[in-house]
């Protein structure tokens, strides 16, 4: 695939994922949807999208886990390059997806100094929010959280798309 075409697909993934986050919320699902749509992945995509639903805001809206934008990107990488159930006993089969997800993780660490949702919120907004407290939820939305999170979501989808497209080129 030509570099221009790969860049266009990565741009699309970034734009779509960020738009989904702004309109629908759910960082992990927004990354998954942006990647699936930009890359034209239909088979098995719905299951991965649905499985990502509990991963928003550091798992279950707790903030106390990996950013959903990171886990959503890793889910799509795993969908495309992970080990199949029939190969579950082969410890080396998932190595490609491990390495790709590590690269996405390392990108997060470079960008934000952490992959933990609370840490990223603090870095970008100066504080964290309890998404189960109606008052704090409202404060999160009025503080610009959606703009910050959609940026994180878009950048994660872009990096995951770049990793996926580079790996597909290697396989071709």
Residue 117 has pLDDT above 80, yes or no: yes
pTM above 0.85, yes or no: yes
Domain ranges, residue 119: 3-171
Q: How far apart are CA 104 and CA 62, in angstroms?
A: 22
What total of structural domains would you count in the chain?
Answer: 1
The tens digit of pLDDT for each residue in 25-68 reads 999 999 999 999 999 998 777 899 999 999 999 999 999 999 99
The tens digit of pLDDT for each residue in 129-148 reads 999 999 999 999 999 999 99
| Contact (CB, 8 A) for 67 and 118 | no
Pair of tokens at residue 144: 């610009």
Query: Is residue 110 left, alpha or beta, with left meaning phi > 0 and alpha meaning psi from -120 to 50?
Result: alpha
CA atoms within 13 A on the CB side of 163: 27
The residues, ordered by sequence, that sit 6+ positions from 2 with a Cβ below 8 Å of its Cβ are none
């Amino acid at each position: 695939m030509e570099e221009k075409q790969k860049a266009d697909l990565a741009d699309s993934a970034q734009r779509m994922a960020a738009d989904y986050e702004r309109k629908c919320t759910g960082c992990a699902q927004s990354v998954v949807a942006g990647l699936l749509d930009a890359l034209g992945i239909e088979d098995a995509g719905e299951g991965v999208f649905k499985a990502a639903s509990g991963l928003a805001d550091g798992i279950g809206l707790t903030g106390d886990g990996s950013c959903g934008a990171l886990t959503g990107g890793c889910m799509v990488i795993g969908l495309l390059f992970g080990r199949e159930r029939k190969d579950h006993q082969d410890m080396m089969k998932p190595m490609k997806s491990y390495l790709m997800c590590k690269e996405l993780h390392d990108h997060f660490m470079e960008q934000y100094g952490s992959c933990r949702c609370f840490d990223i919120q603090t870095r970008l907004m100066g504080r964290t929010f309890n998404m189960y407290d109606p008052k704090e939820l409202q404060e999160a939305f009025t503080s610009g959280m959606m703009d910050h999170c959609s940026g994180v979501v878009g950048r994660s989808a872009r990096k995951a798309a770049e990793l996926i497209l580079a790996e597909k080129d290697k396989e071709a």
